[in-house]
Amino acid sequence: MQASEKPQKYKMLIGGEWVNAGNGDTSPVVNPANGRELARVPRAGLEDVKKAIDAARESFDKGVWSSKTPGERMSVLLKIADLVERDIDRLAMLETLNQGKPIKSARYFDFSFGVDNIRFFAGAARMLEGKPSMEFGGGTSIVRREPVGVVAGIAPWNFPWLMMVWKVIAPLATGNSVVFKPASVTPLTSLEFTKIIQDAGVPPGVLNVVTGVGGSEIGNELTSNPKVDMVTLTGDTETGKAVMRSASPTVKKVHLELGGKAPFVVFDDADVDAAVQGAMAGGYINCGQICIQATRMIVQEKVYDSFVNKLVEKSRRIIVGPGERWETDMGPMVSESQRDKVESLVQTGLNEGAKLVLGGARPKGALYDQGFYYQPTIFKDVDQSMIIAQKEIFGPVLGILKFSTTEDAIQMANDVVFGLWSSVWSKNIYTAMKVANALRFGSVMVNEHIGMFSETPHGGYKQSGSGKALSAYTVESYTNLKHVYVDLTGTVHRGWHDTVFGTSLKPKTD
């Protein structure tokens, strides 16, 4: 879709059929760059979600996908990757128009990386491991990996298409059936991707996609329904807690990728220019709407002023504007409500006594009047106890703290409830490794901040969630381990039989 096109009407996929919501309701989808309506999608009700779950359950139980060999599933997934590559420019532009991110980011990070993810998941499903067969007294033990069953995937709005790759393709690779719920404000590339998955040959009912405002009723059905075997969510920590509560009565598997408050630790022997460049990329990517954002700059006192001055100077040069323009470095925020939240937290930082050295307001001019834009914003003299140093802001807002010793840096970095992502900047390998080992975060980058690969796990410690996205570990998480024992003697195992029922082992008495 181009920016000038009329709003498009979409349907959702349930049981292999493209359908409207049962009640006929729809929800608008807007372009955050100008607030105009892009499309309308079905606003699913409770009965729609139940039908989607039933369709997924039936497809799994009948084995229309789960019974296929890893090689057969791989072939379909590789075709999906090829079809995405065929349409990559169109899909990337749609992502930009719906979410707001710069087209160069959507095209050359989200979609290029996501295609690689698909191909990795396709191959990794053929390499799943169980322990080797073991011999026990005339019998053999075998460990099998089997698909979990029906997986409910709930995605956020910051990386709509990429999160669908993680929450749909990895489960499909191992033979599961899926019910997927995209974020209500950013469903468009998910629906286009669903068409591609269907065209590639995934059987009806194996993938079901429901759209519209989630709400407690819809979310609770996805997470509590006994026909769902596993829930995978990327979202904020409070939502993750609610999912755990909802899933607990049926004790289903839960995979959570939640909030973050990444420390960006700069030692006085670091290459300050390189660190500033890393802070720019890590701090402003996706308008700061990313859980691995370099949001806490923890800088050693000797280079503190130099780092602040250089970061402010470079941040002034950021081009803010509509994402479809190739010169844009930072697009709008995803919604008016998200911008309001960021503005509120910036005011909190001012009230707490942090010193605002850049931004802190909406950009001015006709270009920005209709969209949800916010300036690159930097606070210095931030204290560890401040709310802006502890709470996830999820916007283009950076806070800079000062430390003296290595021990101070470690303590400050770890002193948050989150534990998803972090980075350390130092030319001293001993310092870097000491700190990397001490940080309680799922990923630690050294002299880099953004560094994701299909082959490496992504996931957090503490209140940043449980389970891993990416790598063979996430593919394994969508399987159950089963132990199968085969007696090869053709007779009853006398040892166990006699121990439980026999009398021959009774101790002799005088």
Q: What pTM value is reported for the model?
A: 0.95
Taken in order 333, 334, 336, 341, the sign of the CA dihedral is: negative
CA distances from 494 to 229, 282, 331, 486, 498 (A): 38, 64, 73, 15, 6
Counting runs of H as helices and runs of E as strands, what totals does the chain give?
18, 23
* Distance, CA of 339 to CA of 345 (rounded, Å): 10
Q: What is the pLDDT of residue 1?
A: 46
The full 3-state SS of 68-105, as one line of letters, equals CCHHHHHHHHHHHHHHHHHCHHHHHHHHHHHHCCCHHH
Output the pLDDT for position 506.
Answer: 65
Cα–chain center distance at 163: 5
Domain ranges within the chain, ordered by starting residue: 8-258+464-483, 262-454
List pLDDT tens digits, range 259-308: 999 999 999 999 999 999 999 999 999 999 999 999 999 999 999 999 99
Query: Which CATH architecture group holds 262-454?
Result: 3-Layer(aba) Sandwich (3.40)
CA distance 47 to 347: 42
Catalytic residue numbers read 257, 291
What does the pLDDT profile of the chain (510 residues) look like in tens digits?
444 468 899 999 999 999 999 999 999 999 999 999 999 999 999 999 999 999 999 999 999 999 999 999 999 999 999 999 999 999 999 999 999 999 999 999 999 999 999 999 999 999 888 776 777 777 888 899 999 999 999 999 999 999 999 999 999 999 999 999 999 999 999 999 999 999 999 999 999 999 988 677 889 999 999 999 999 999 999 999 999 999 999 999 999 999 999 999 999 999 999 999 999 999 999 999 999 999 999 999 999 999 999 999 999 999 999 999 999 999 999 999 999 999 999 999 999 999 999 999 999 999 999 999 999 999 999 999 999 999 999 999 999 999 999 999 999 999 999 999 999 999 999 999 999 999 999 999 999 999 999 999 999 999 999 999 999 999 999 999 999 888 888 876 555 566 666 655 566 665
Please, which residues have CB within 8 angstroms of residue 72's CB and are 6 or more apart in sequence?
none
Do residues 182 and 155 lie in contact, with contact meaning Cβ atoms separated by under 8 Å? yes
pLDDT, residue 409, reads 98
Q: Which among 456, 420, 470, 387 has a CA at the least distance from the CA of 259? A: 420
Q: Could you say which of 3.40.190.10, 3.40.605.10, 3.40.50.150, 3.20.20.20 is the CATH number of the domain covering 8-258+464-483?
A: 3.40.605.10
CA–CA distance from 486 to each of 141, 480, 495 (Å)? 6, 19, 16
pLDDT (0 to 100) of residue 488: 86
